C-alpha cells in the first residue's frame, strides 16, 4: 500500500464531501488492500471516489439548471416536514449531488417523488 493511497483514504473518511456510503466503502477497501489487494472494479470505484473528494465540484444555486432549482425547492419542502432519518439522508444526498453538478437518475427522481407524495401529498400506493 503506497502513501498516496493512505492520503486518499484519510481525505475520504474525513471529508464532508464524501457520502456515508463512500466512507464505508473506503474503510472496507482500505482494510482489504492491506491484506489481499483490490479487484479492478474496486480500484475503479476507489479512483472515482478519490477524484471526486480530492477535487470536488461545488456549484452555486444560481449556476444550477432550472430543473435542479425546482427539485431543490421540493427537497426543502420535504425536509421541513419530515423527521424520517432515511428520508432526510436520502434527500440531502440528492441535493448534494446536484450541487456537485451531477444529474440524478430516473430511479432517484422516482424514489424522491414517491417519498414526496407519501410524506407531503399524503398519496398512498396501491
Q: Are 67 and 110 members of one domain? A: yes
The answer to whether residues 38 and 79 belong to one domain is no
**What's the pLDDT score for residue 104?**
94
C-alpha cell at 124: 398512498
Binning pLDDT at 50, 70 and 90, where does residue 4 land? Answer: confident
- Say how many domains are in the chain: 2
In this structure, the answer to whether residues 42 and 66 fall within a common structural domain is no
- Regarding whether 117 and 65 lie in a shared domain, the answer is yes
User: Could you tell me the residue range of the domain that residue 88 belongs to?
Assistant: 61-121
Backbone angles phi and psi of 79, in degrees to 5: -65, -30
pLDDT top residue among 3 and 103: 103
The average pLDDT across 37-55 equals: 89
In a domain, 49, yes or no: yes
Residues 66 and 36 in one domain: no
pLDDT at residue 66, rounded to an integer: 95
7, part of any domain: yes
Contact present, 95 and 72 (Cβ < 8 Å): yes
- 65-106 pLDDT, tens digit per residue, is 999 999 999 999 999 999 999 999 999 999 988 998 889 999
Domain assignment present for residue 126? The answer is no
In a domain? residue 70: yes
Q: What's the chain's average pLDDT? A: 89
Output the CA–CA distances (angstroms, integers) from residue 30 to 5, 14, 21, 24, in the order listed.
9, 14, 14, 10
Amino acid at each position: 500500500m503506497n502513501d498516496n493511497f493512505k492520503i486518499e483514504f484519510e481525505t475520504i473518511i474525513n471529508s464532508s464531501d464524501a457520502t456515508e456510503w463512500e466512507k464505508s466503502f473506503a474503510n472496507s477497501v482500505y482494510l482489504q488492500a492491506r491484506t489481499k489487494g483490490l479487484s479492478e472494479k474496486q480500484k475503479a470505484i476507489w479512483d472515482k471516489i478519490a477524484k471526486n473528494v480530492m477535487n470536488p465540484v461545488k456549484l452555486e444555486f444560481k449556476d444550477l439548471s432550472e430543473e435542479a432549482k425546482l427539485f431543490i425547492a421540493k427537497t426543502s419542502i420535504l425536509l421541513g416536514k419530515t423527521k424520517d432519518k432515511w428520508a432526510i439522508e436520502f434527500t440531502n444526498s440528492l441535493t448534494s449531488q446536484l450541487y456537485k453538478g451531477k444529474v440524478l437518475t430516473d430511479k432517484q427522481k422516482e424514489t424522491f417523488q414517491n417519498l414526496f407524495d407519501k410524506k407531503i401529498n399524503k398519496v398512498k400506493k396501491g
